[in-house]
Structure 1
């Protein structure tokens, strides 16, 4: 009887949920910093997985029948390492696919398994090095070069295989990828193809099954990849005829290749050039879910550049069959169907593009040139860009199934949060019974003031939040502008100087510094996008190394803003002074904090209530340090749930490339 009671107690859902929360918390925790430096961006869960993989590979390499540390044992280890190496080749190629069997059957997106692909490739290189190092002890280099023997020909292919593998490992290093991702991508594809060919000639026929499997995986991935490209970018549309109002008969249909890209005209006058470009891709013929990303190709701006972006909108339920009239088609927008970033046409994809270098810089220059051109009715009409989209990619969770959503984003990562808001707002109209969300906490942190960018984000957020509030969802939003030059807030027309962080700001408003979303007064002003290094990735999938110390340490407010301490080129103070008179309210929804950064621990604990069996999801789209800090806080919450200090665990979903 006691044993049966023990089994029933262990089989209860509470015990299972507690065990899952405990292991989830351990997998989310980050490695502590050593002397202020981050050792690795991988959480403990991934480190344990890699350690298990390394132990398995090492055990398989040394598990031979020969006596340990004898000459025969060393030779057996060399041959065993060769077999282990060739057996790992299909795994490495399987993890490298975007539309391969693993992605389709297991519903795993490629960016979620990229880290396993890189580390399994390193394991393969280590086992190949073991084989190569031992075998070269008994082979003369001159025989490899000059001997016409068939055995030496096979050895030459083996040396070529190892040389190709070493070249792949060398050119896949992070500095090389950051220097030129295009060069890395082209070299990687060419080198991996050559590797399969030289391995095919090196291994005996009885060991070629992994080579055939790897070739089949690559062919399967390429086949579905090209099929998806054709499906996304080649379609039949109704084309409007000239003087169609005076003609009778059916409309003409034509096959169109590519999708039209439209620039968004600014609604606010900015005293300084903005570094964020808002573009619209019209009549997208496929659907995507919130949190997914696409890979954008603009051949007119970069023949070999493909960039990942997260759409700021969600696919609409209906697609307009005809191309919309637009100023870029040498026509004026119809007054009854205006198309802007804040009010997109059906199934339009809105992208927020941060200008850094390469394609994104050329896109910003194209937009500036387009804005400087005369009216389309003048003698110099504008021309449209054509985009090709690869995707969508990603397997986000069912956002509508959670009771509380905490959306945290920095810079253009706000498009990730806006797409979720758009999807939930659509559910309010299409299928309200599916919407289980009761509270949404929207947090956006930016660096420098950029009025048009902030206005576009605020307008989209207010439109979605209004629909959600009408459906009974509690929505709160806080915008942070962390630039020290923007630490003057305007409250109902009165200027208040904030000479410190968020604590002083709360005291100025007679609030206790609890960082509660419900206790922040609304401030009216403009904030902008975070200023990253010009060499960093420009997508909303932020891929960059953070500086030393915490990510937020670069946003620490300063009490004195003398000319010597101001950031070079910063015009936030000037922008604020010019735009204070034009600031507008956001229906009491958006609270704005200037000269301070969000305190993630207090913010997450305030949003995710400790009491109550409510499901909570924390969605983060930011740099590696912000994601790591959010994971640590969620891990602490789950450990608190295991200890009985919380009534439910907390889930987290992060978007970003490591």
Structure 2
């Protein structure tokens, strides 16, 4: 059968009551469009709710005040409890495998069910005379999925804008919808092979039938893309993955375009249009923020607008600082950074650890391999110049960098009554700006601001680190935040503004006692001045890197490990820790205590459920839990939120308020 005869398949009848191929394609997108519309409605309601809370002058602005919002809160709590749940991790051959939350999994499974139903609806796949019909049907349904995959892949993401979700989360859906596409393409090819196999024509058709040859080539390329997109393979070499992904994508689209009949080529042009839109939008915005011609009023000279200093830090890390950057961002967002003079043709995503009011963009980059290691080597080579701390670094001692972004979305934290921030290791570069942003809003309100900038009353900040040398990462920022809160309390003692900070040290070789003693909680001297770093790579989630803190053990070289969960901080104030695993307070010097009087430093790891429960018991409205760190910590926090929501019967008539969870990971 040639391409001309195939062109009428879309309208050809496959029997009484069997819907046409074009009709099923439209029905598939009706389902997809309905799901996106539902997400858009929820996003709009959340935005209205946030605005309403910030305008509420009552003592409990984060508590529902109307029947509508009470009903909405109840429905939201029920959906959250189910969607946040996740299966326990599985350990095989020394490796731990984590699962995605049930909410995203349910969406992917729903898409899979819809696709398979449309593929086989009213067709008898056991009837050999219907195998061609199944082949045509699955082909039409397969190609109709292409636009969705491209919609989910772009950084300037239309779906993300509508539903309020960042591109890096949608990328997980992009990968799984691509796997669904591969499944239907395989079924499409399998039924044609099955039909040809009755007459032993498979090899003959592939040699002589051009349409079949092109289709088989498209399937081979798609199979290669799916295999190489698996996380273990991606992480072997991200730069290589990106390059081959782009090359194979072009080959796949070309093969599909050559294979598809003219009447369905529109399903190829649509995703190409989405790709062009994403690239053009990204390049136009990047041109604006990187070319100095658009920023002459800010005193920018030269061709490029952004120059950065690279400072080496302990722990094979680099602090990258861009003074007076030409973009604005929100706490928790990230950018893609390129420095061709150090790491040519490489672009890496990093969390922005500073706030716009700092008038500088700071990134903390851990040297792993590739471009990040080149950053550290360059900074180390020039450390006498760039590590001096001189803010007035000469221009010829900086490097031109190119910035793309910012990216990242989550619900504004200032709308919640209580905010719990939990970070593991380098994850603090995500939670620290969130903490500082809320405190800055509190401070601004005390300067005569007429409107309420934050409904938040309480902040619980927990940071889990592997070594006490990491305590200096954000000491200055913590001191500033605590000082601002004290000023707020003095300015308005009747206004509730509470913050509790805890740092947990899970493994520190300097805590090791002499051989004659088994105590591992000994006085610590000083909190170091030089901070270490954090790196956020969305393609390679750094929250899982080996230097992050996990709930497992450490000290493989025989050093002391304190990894037992501390269920109650107050109960262990006077105890010590033995190398058998009992938790203890990590004692800091008197000078450190004076500089951070409200900071609790402990040896061990936090018991997430207890930390969250204590805050929820005081909450007078909806609370937010934000976690950024290794998958073990994230899973523990997620399970704790689900357990506490069920235990407290959140928004089920008990008066207990809801809990919003944001798990900062690249996908799942």
Alignment partner of 1:435 is 2:454: yes
Q: In the alignment, what sits opposite 2:32?
A: none
Alignment partner of 1:54 is 2:112: yes
CA–CA separation in structure 1 for the residues paired with 2:539 and 2:306: 21
Please show how residues 129-278 of structure 1 align to structure 2 within 5 Å.
129-137=186-194, 138=196, 140=201, 142-144=203-205, 146-147=207-208, 152-236=209-293, 254=301, 256-264=303-311, 273-278=314-319
Task: Tell me by how many angstroms 1:561 deviates.
Answer: 4.4
CA–CA separation in structure 2 for the residues paired with 1:616 and 1:133: 51
Contact 1:400 1:437 in 2 (8 A): yes
Q: In the alignment, what sits opposite 1:309?
A: 350
SS of structure 2 residue aligned to 1:210: helix
Q: In the alignment, what sits opposite 1:365?
A: 377
CA–CA separation in structure 1 for the residues paired with 2:120 and 2:206: 31
CA–CA separation in structure 2 for the residues paired with 1:306 and 1:627: 27
SS of structure 2 residue aligned to 1:552: coil
Among residues 629, 634, 642, which one is paired with 1:635 in the alignment? 642
Contact 1:370 1:382 in 2 (8 A): no
Contact 1:523 1:593 in 2 (8 A): no
Please show how residues 518-537 of structure 1 align to structure 2 within 5 Å.
525=527
CA–CA separation in structure 2 for the residues paired with 1:633 and 1:530: 29
Q: Deviations over 1:59-78 (max 9, x none)?
A: 1111134x451112322211
CA–CA separation in structure 2 for the residues paired with 1:296 and 1:77: 48
Contact 1:448 1:531 in 2 (8 A): no
Contact 1:406 1:442 in 2 (8 A): yes
CA–CA separation in structure 1 for the residues paired with 2:220 and 2:559: 57
CA–CA separation in structure 1 for the residues paired with 2:250 and 2:99: 30
Contact 1:32 1:38 in 2 (8 A): no
Q: In the alignment, what sits opposite 1:401?
A: 415
Task: Tell me by how many angstroms 1:456 deviates.
Answer: 4.0
Task: Tell me by how many angstroms 1:214 deviates.
Answer: 0.8
Q: Deviations over 1:488-528 (max 9, x none)?
A: 79xxxxxxx9847xxxx8xx99xxxxxxxxxxxx9964599
Task: Tell me by how many angstroms 1:54 deviates.
Answer: 1.6
Q: In the alignment, what sits opposite 1:650?
A: 659
Alignment partner of 1:32 is 2:73: no
SS of structure 2 residue aligned to 1:479: strand
Among residues 462, 482, 485, which one is paired with 1:465 in the alignment? 482
Q: In the alignment, what sits opposite 1:494?
A: none
Q: In the alignment, what sits opposite 2:498?
A: 474
CA–CA separation in structure 1 for the residues paired with 2:247 and 2:264: 23
CA pair 647-133 structure 1, distance change in 2 beyond 3 A: same
CA pair 498-387 structure 1, distance change in 2 beyond 3 A: farther
Which runs of 5 or more residues in structure 2 are unaligned? 1-65, 490-496, 562-585
Say what the alpha-carbon RMSD is for the aligned residues.
Answer: 3.7
Contact 2:238 2:539 in 1 (8 A): no
Which runs of 5 or more residues in structure 1 are unaligned? 1-9, 240-249, 267-272, 317-343, 490-496, 510-521, 563-576
Please show how residues 376-455 of structure 1 align to structure 2 within 5 Å.
383-431=397-445, 432=449, 433-450=452-469, 454-455=471-472
CA pair 275-498 structure 1, distance change in 2 beyond 3 A: farther
CA–CA separation in structure 2 for the residues paired with 1:622 and 1:440: 18
Contact 2:507 2:560 in 1 (8 A): no
Q: In the alignment, what sits opposite 1:593?
A: 602
Q: Deviations over 1:61-105 (max 9, x none)?
A: 11134x451112322211111111101111111111111432344
Count of matched residue pairs: 547
Q: Deviations over 1:425-464 (max 9, x none)?
A: 33235455212221111111111242xx532411112112
Contact 2:292 2:300 in 1 (8 A): no
- TM normalised by structure 2 equals 0.74
Task: Tell me by how many angstroms 1:545 deviates.
Answer: 5.4
Task: Tell me by how many angstroms 1:45 deviates.
Answer: 1.4
CA pair 186-546 structure 1, distance change in 2 beyond 3 A: closer
Task: Tell me by how many angstroms 1:381 deviates.
Answer: 10
